[in-house]
Amino acid sequence: MGPEGAKAIADALRVNGSLTRISLTANKLEEEGTKAICQALEQNKTLKELDISGEPEPFGSMSNIGGSTGAKHVAKMLCLPGSLTHLK
């Protein structure tokens, strides 16, 4: 999917009224896509479960979200009140 696909998903998440779980596993979101998803989830109050895990070793679990910069976007999102209860 990559960052551009993640932006499209983020646009849908902003107006989502019923989706409660989404898996974006190993989609190469990179930092840009991760940022878009996280910003959308700052507004989304229905999503409960999000899987943004990466590819299995040797690539590393952070390869999907753009490394430490992507992890900072995730951390910021998690600090805000919302309805997300499960993150992988």
Q: Which of the following CATH numbers is that of domain 2-82: 3.40.50.2300, 3.30.70.100, 3.80.10.10, 1.20.140.10?
A: 3.80.10.10
Domain-by-domain residue ranges, the chain? 2-82
Closest-CA residue to 7 (of 45, 42, 40, 55)? 40
What is the pTM (predicted TM-score) of this model? 0.84
What pLDDT, on the 0 to 100 scale, is given for residue 58?
59
pLDDT in tens, 14-28: 998 899 999 998 888
Does the pLDDT value for residue 61 go beyond 60?
no
- Average pLDDT of the residues in 17-40: 92
| Mean pLDDT for all residues in the chain | 87
H helices present in the chain, as ranges: 2-15, 30-41, 67-79
**Beta strand 21-23 pairing with 86-87:** unpaired
Coil vs helix vs strand at 51: strand
User: How far apart (Å, rounded) are the C-alpha atoms in residues 63 and 43?
Assistant: 25
